[in-house]
Amino acid sequence: MPAAPGVNTLLFPPVVYAGPSISHEEIQQYLPGAQLMPPVARGDLYRDRTLGFSVFVILDGVFSQQLAIPPREVLDVLADGACVLGASSMGAIRAAECWPAGMHGVGTIYRLYRRGVLESDDEVALTFIEDAGYRVASVPLVNVRYSVSRHLRQGQLGPDHAHHIIEAARNTYYPDRNWRELLQQAGIDDRDGALRRSLAACDLKRLDAARALRRTARLLRDSPALSQAPGAGIGLTLPERESRERGHDATAGLDALTLKTHLWQWLLASGRYRQLSSLRGAVDIHNPDPACPDELWPTLLKDPAIDGLVFRYRAMTYARDRAGDISLSADERCLQHAQQIIARGHGLDDWREIGHRFTPGAPIWPMLQALRQDLAQAIAFRKLDHKQTR
C-alpha cells in the first residue's frame, strides 16, 4: 500500500486514535511511524496538542466507560492551528458536528451523520476486548446495515430476510449484537456459518478508517508543513480528568438571545430535546411554557448531551445561511428529506404522523414549519457542497 513519503521521519508524526475499527498493523501500512494512541477520551487532544503534535486522526473514542471527547475540545485544537480528521466511529460523529470549523470528515459514516441519516451513537457502538488487541465482541449497527445492503444487492439475501436482520439488530442492545444471534432471530438457517462469515467480512468502519488514513497520507505528502504547525497561543489547558464538570463553554460562544430563542425552538421542533435528560418530563411539547427556557437554562447547560446538540444546530444554521448567501432554493426532495429527519427526531415514522400528533393550531406548528424550510435549505447546500468537493 502506498504510504506518505517521509511520514516515518517527521519530528511530529500524525497521531491516530484507534481501537477496534482498524488494526495497528494496518495503520502502520498506511502511515509508517504514526503515533498510535488508544480510542480518544476527553483531554487527549488537548494533551497531545500541547506536546507539539499538529495532525490528528480520530477514528475510535470512548463513549460510556469514560468521558467522551467534547466538540469544544476539537474546536479549540482547530483554532490553535492543528489539522484534525475524523472517520469511522467517534471521529465521524465529531466531524459531522465540527466540519464548519474546519475538521476534515472522511468516509460514508461521516457523510451519513452529517446529512442526518444517522443520528444515534448506537450506530457505531460496539464492545471489544482491549487486552486482545481490541478484538471486537459485538457488531455495530452501521456495519449490519452496510453488510446486509451489499448482500441484498448481490442476491445473497432476500428482501424479507434482510428486513428481519435489520429489525433484529435495531432491537438488540449493542453489547449483545452479533451475527449468530441476528441470523437466528431472523429465522435464517446458517448451520455451516458461511453466511455469518460473509456478512462479518463487510466492515464499513474499517473501510472508512482506511480512507481517513489514505487522506492523511496525501495531506502530508502534499503539505509536509502541516506536521509542524505552531500553536496560535490561545492557551490550551488540560482539564482535570477526575472532574465531571465542563472545562469549556457548552454554549460555544452563542449569544443569550440566540440560545434562549432560536436554539430552544430548534430543540423543540427537531425533537432533539428528547436527548437531554434535563428536559425529559419538564417540557410539554404540545403547549411549551414561554418561561421554560429561563427556568431550565442553568440545568440544561450542565447536561452532558448539550455540546453535541449545540454544534449540530450550528452546522445546520451555517449550511442554511450559506444557501441563502447564494440564493440556493430547496427542491421537493430536500423538503421531503427534512420532513423525514424531523419526524424521526420526534420518534415518528413520517411527516403525516407529525400532522396527526401536532395540529396546525398548536404552538409548536410554526416552529415545525420554519425548521422544515431551514433544514431543507441546509440539506440543499450540503448536497451542493458534496458535489463540489468529491
Query: Rounded CA gap, 80 and 230, in Å?
Result: 8
Of the listed ranges 91-105, 110-124, 304-318, the least confidently predicted one is 304-318
| pLDDT reported for residue 242 | 37
The answer to whether residue 290 scores a pLDDT higher than 70 is no
Closest listed residue to residue 75, CA positions, set 50, 100, 105, 42: 100
Residue boundaries of the structural domains of the chain: 7-123+205-223, 137-203, 256-389
Domain 7-123+205-223 annotated CATH 3.20.20: no
Between 114 and 107, name the one with better pLDDT: 107
Region of 177 on the Ramachandran plot (φ > 0 left; ψ -120 to 50 alpha; else beta): beta
| pLDDT reported for residue 45 | 94
Alpha helices in the chain (DSSP H): 24-30, 44-50, 71-79, 90-98, 108-114, 141-153, 159-170, 179-185, 194-200, 204-222, 256-257, 264-270, 292-300, 306-325, 332-345, 351-357, 365-389
| pLDDT reported for residue 349 | 80
Q: Residue range 257-270: average pLDDT? A: 79
| pLDDT reported for residue 5 | 43
- At residue 256's C-alpha, the angle toward residues 343 and 344, to 5°, is 10
DSSP 124: T
The answer to whether residue 317 scores a pLDDT higher than 70 is yes
DSSP 260: I
Query: Rounded CA gap, 108 and 205, in Å?
Result: 9
* Whether pTM exceeds 0.75: no
The answer to whether residue 266 scores a pLDDT higher than 70 is yes
Bridge partners (DSSP) of residue 55 are 83
In percent, how much of the chain has pLDDT > 90? 41
Per-residue pLDDT of 8-46, as tens digits, reads 556 689 999 999 999 999 999 999 889 999 999 999 999
| pLDDT reported for residue 115 | 83
| pLDDT reported for residue 123 | 92
The answer to whether residue 184 scores a pLDDT higher than 90 is yes
The answer to whether residue 116 scores a pLDDT higher than 50 is yes
* Mean per-residue pLDDT of the chain: 83
Length of the chain equals: 390
